[in-house]
Amino acid sequence: MLDWLPPNVSTYGGEIDKFFYVIYYITAVVFFLVAGAMILFLIKYRHREGRRATYTHGNATLEIVWTVATFVAMLILALVSKPLWGRIKQQVPMTQNMVTIQVTAKQFNWEILYPGPDGEFDTPADSAAGTLDDYQIDNDMHVPVNTVVRLMLKSKDVIHSIFVPQMRLKQDMVPGHTITAWFNAEKDYILRFSLGLEFQEALDNASISDDFLLQFSSIGLVQHFKNMEELQKEKTPILSSNAVVSIQEAGNSWILNDESLKRKYIVKKENGALNVYSNLYEIPCAELCGFGHSGMLGHLYVHTPEEYEAWKIQTWPPATAAPADSSNLETPQQ
Amino acid sequence: MSEVTATKPHDAHAHQSFISTYIFSLDHKMIAKQFLILGLLMLLLGGGLALLIRWQLAYPEKPLPLLGASKQFVETGDPDTTSSWDRTWAEWLSREEKDQNWLARNVPQGVITPAFYNSVFTMHATIMIFFVVMPILVGCFGNFLIPLMIGTRDMAFPTLNMLSFWMAFVSGIVMLAGFFVPGGHAAAGWTSYTPLSADPQWSGVDWGQNLWCISLIILGISSLMGSINYITTIINMRAPGMTLFRMPLAVWSLFIVAILLLLALPVLTAALSMLLFDRMAGTHFFNPAGGGEPLLWQHLFWFFGHPEVYILILPGMGLASEIMPVFARKPIFGYNAMVWAMVAIAFLGWIVWGHHMFQSGMSPALGTTFMVSTMLIAVPSAIKTFNWLGTLWGGNIRFTVPMLHTLAFVSMFVIGGLSGIYMASTPVDIFIHDTYYIVAHIHYVVFGGSIFGMFAGITYWFPKMFGRMMSAKLGKIHFWLTFIAFNCTFFPMHILGVGGHMRRIYNPLQYEFLKDFQGMNEFISISAFVLGFTQLLFVFNVIYSLKRGKVAEDNPWQANTLEWTAHYPIPHGNFAALPAVYRGPYEYSSPEVEEDWLPQTKKLATAPASGNGHH
């Protein structure tokens, strides 16, 4: 069971996981004690002819002991849970380089809104504050690593719930409310899968050049996703077999870029295996929101600081966008 | 205690018509059987819906077996012309008014649509909670056991009792009708969160949701009638000597449940009325566009909903506490603690509703308060578990079918209780909220708890209800298959939840991070199919034993409580003379007598009344 939590990449996620494991060990011990006692009693006190059960109505001392013990244990668990809950849900850390993003949920998309170069979410057109340079994209969220990301959560129709499993982030989004949530990604690229088994032999063979491996790994990557697509009935192609993949070599690793699908993978040769890293995290909706609830899915990209700056320059409208031209709101300028 | 019903058993009841005996019966025992049949039929329907859910999750968007079109038709759109079933599907789907065809609308080519899937899980939960567990545990056992166990002739208000069943019946018809209205049945989950449930424009569901509300309002009236009856009967009509603390724990649990029903159902009725007004009369209680508050629904719903969870589990606890001493041949361990634990649960149950709303946007400060109260409600549950263990200690345990189900109840309830601690802790709940972890937890409590309690109760009291023994051999096969398949179905759901698998999703393959769980989803589904089909064995056992079962003695289990002194067929009025009670219900292996049971009614020559549970 311990292996089943998705990898954690957020600062507070590790603390949540720690609580999870503490409760896991406590409940596991209690369960095995209770189940063990029960099985023992069932065997030891099974019916036999001529035996007579012990006539007792209970034991006050024993009952007081287990009542008080449970009470104290539960109270302690509640009290130690409180500070972490407060840090996650009540106190958004305020830092200089904090990134603020407004997420508006609607059936069945996430509207991700950045304040644009002026750093202000656009106020009504007649207001003096800010310019109309907000940048909105559907379903894609880009954030820098090691930075507090503050989310202003809204909904246009029904209740949705933003869920990023690897960030241990979940918060319902309620129409009529603006709810603040936050996370801070500790890691950008994490290991997704390994091509070790298929490539073990090739890697062990010294006569095969790195060039060949490079080719091989990109073919392997494509094959991996093709298998997955088959599983997914080609609903959400991740890297189509005919995708144009550009490959960069960087030391002992290669960067695979699929421009059309905006996916980037880092492939590293480690311990005799080819490990594939990615900075892409899914954002499912966790609250039933209608017939399209399943598949309401966004993507979170956790960038290195340089990548994030590059992404901003590449996609955000320039700081001096004309306020009158509202089309700037929707279309990113290249 | 009082003499509300002073009539002799056969007075004025000698000649009853078929209708007054079997249909509009005033006899609590017949009404109990009516609730039982209603509940068991609904169990088959609710279980069938569960299997549809499991099919879709294991084999997403694959055509259903038997009903579905050929693989070729589903994948390519070209019907296999050699298959007459494909031709039928092609014909149905080519019609202009194909929406008129129920199958073509909900399962075109045998593939469940996302909208129908939402209806299916919504109705699975609604039916299981309101039309299976409540009718059987509260309606059937409440009606059958309360008058017999406290030693009276009938319920305080027999006509109200009869109306209570027929209101439940009407409510069931209204609920089922929802499947056949345009727009489909309610599809916002059994919790029907607003605004999704409040406005047809968000869900496409129109009359389905309205009928869902109306049906539950009617069911609320039925429950109200029942609970008033239970409370009045227990307070006023106990046999001479049946003090409150000599009452069997089954009666105590039903008494407490009746009080919870009396107080909780009106809250649901109020919320449902508001929802119905929002939907039909243009009010905006829950619509933020009109100044309403969506979270108000959640507060109202869970203020009802959490006591409701205890309404589902307390009778199971009562039945388990009743059956365990009989087959351990020992007094229940800590009778008073058992009673006060249930009272504590009933009180604390009112101040924990916010733990369903930790991630809802409710103030996080409130979350902390609800976490503390939720952690505390674990204490009485733990007391009960330890007392059950204490009851087994030193016993002379007979592994009959009802005892096996009781032991399953206790062990599964332990898992359900322990898994609840995870989501009680607010930080951990952030991750597991709205995942399959919650689904696993609720099923360990409501299936592992309530349903095993229900099987224990049916197999235990079947001889008194129907005068025949159920087949123990079939019963044991049914028990073991159910127990194993249950755990194979629901335990892996914990792991799915820990992996982040959301509940209420139509197709897990739409998510990259869930693809590794597909094998587990398939395993769960296969286990669920085994679990589902095993229940047919139980149905067969009931029908077979009704006809062919061994004729039961008056007291086949050598039990102490009053119902076993009544002779089958128990006449309308129950007892020839009202029994007198001399002691508590669990005097097994008492040193005062040679045999290992001492009925509540047995008058001993020498000793004074003993063992009323006070120590």
> Could you give phi then psi for residue A103, rounded to 5 degrees?
-115, 120
**B507 touches B58 (CB < 8 A):** no
- Å between A228 CA and nearest CA of chain B: 8
Residues 142-171 of B with CB under 8 A from A: none
- Please name which of B428, B420, B424, B464 lies closest in space to residue B444, comparing C-alpha atoms: B420
In this predicted structure, the answer to whether residue A217 has a pLDDT above a threshold of 90 is no
Contacts of B288 in chain A (CB under 8 A): 174-177
- Give residue B588's identity as a one-letter amino acid code: Y
Cβ contact, residue pair A291, B376, below 8 Å? no
In this predicted structure, the answer to whether residue B590 has a pLDDT above a threshold of 90 is yes
The pLDDT assigned to A96 comes to 87
In this predicted structure, the answer to whether residue B151 has a pLDDT above a threshold of 60 is yes
* Residue of B368, B409, B414, B494 to mutate, testing the A interface (most A Cβ within 10 Å of its Cβ): B368
A–B interface: beta-carbon pairs under 8 A = 306
Cβ contact, residue pair A288, B118, below 8 Å? yes
The pLDDT assigned to A321 comes to 46
Provide the edge-to-edge strand list for the sheet that holds A273-278: A190-194, A273-278, A263-270, A253-258, A245-250
The pLDDT assigned to A200 comes to 53
In this predicted structure, the answer to whether residue A156 has a pLDDT above a threshold of 90 is yes
Contacts of B427 in chain A (CB under 8 A): 15-16, 19, 81, 84-85, 88
Radius of gyration, alpha carbons of chain A: 27
CA atoms within 13 A on the CB side of B379: 29
Cβ contact, residue pair A70, B118, below 8 Å? no
Q: How confident is the model at residue A216 (pLDDT cuts 50, 70, 90)?
A: low
The pLDDT assigned to A327 comes to 42
The pLDDT assigned to B81 comes to 84
- Å between A320 CA and nearest CA of chain B: 35
Residue B351 touches chain A, beta carbons under 8 Å: no
Tokens coding B496: 């799915």
In this predicted structure, the answer to whether residue B276 has a pLDDT above a threshold of 90 is yes
The pLDDT assigned to B608 comes to 52
Cβ contact, residue pair B392, A282, below 8 Å? no
The percentage of chain B sitting over the pLDDT mark of 90, rounded to a whole number, equals 84
Any idea which of A241-255, B99-113, B232-246 has the lowest mean pLDDT?
A241-255
**Whole-number Cα distances in Å, A162 to A151, A297, B64, B585:** 10, 10, 32, 53
**B569 touches B81 (CB < 8 A):** no
Q: How confident is the model at residue B7 (pLDDT cuts 50, 70, 90)?
A: very low
The pLDDT assigned to B15 comes to 64
- Rounded mean pLDDT of A257-282? 77
Any idea which of A115-124, A128-137, B31-40, B454-463 has the lowest mean pLDDT?
A128-137
- Please name which of A329, A298, A332, A300 lies closest in space to residue A316, comparing C-alpha atoms: A332
B470 alpha carbon, distance to own chain's centre: 22
B360-372: per-residue pLDDT in tens? Answer: 999 999 999 999 9
d(CA A110, CA A136): 10
The pLDDT assigned to A118 comes to 78
In this predicted structure, the answer to whether residue A261 has a pLDDT above a threshold of 80 is no
Instruction: Select the more confidently predicted residue: A214 or B32.
Output: B32
Q: Kindly give, in sequence order, each residue whose CB lies less than 8 Å from that of residue A102, ignoring residues fewer than 6 positions away.
A: A112, A113, A115, A121, A151, A152, A154
> Could you give phi then psi for residue A248, rounded to 5 degrees?
-115, 140
- Global ipTM: 0.90
Contacts of A236 in chain B (CB under 8 A): 510, 512
* Residue of B62, B196, B376 to mutate, testing the A interface (most A Cβ within 10 Å of its Cβ): B196
- Of residues A48, A55, A232, nearest to B591 (C-beta): A55
A264 DSSP β-pair partners: A257
d(CA B366, CA B355): 9
- Å between B507 CA and nearest CA of chain A: 6
B376-412: per-residue pLDDT in tens? Answer: 999 999 999 999 999 999 999 999 999 999 999 999 9
Cβ contact, residue pair B378, A70, below 8 Å? yes
Tokens coding B504: 């209420």
Cβ contact, residue pair B196, A158, below 8 Å? yes
- Rounded mean pLDDT of B161-187? 95
In this predicted structure, the answer to whether residue A289 has a pLDDT above a threshold of 70 is yes
d(CA B270, CA B292): 16
CB atoms within 10 A of CB B194: 32
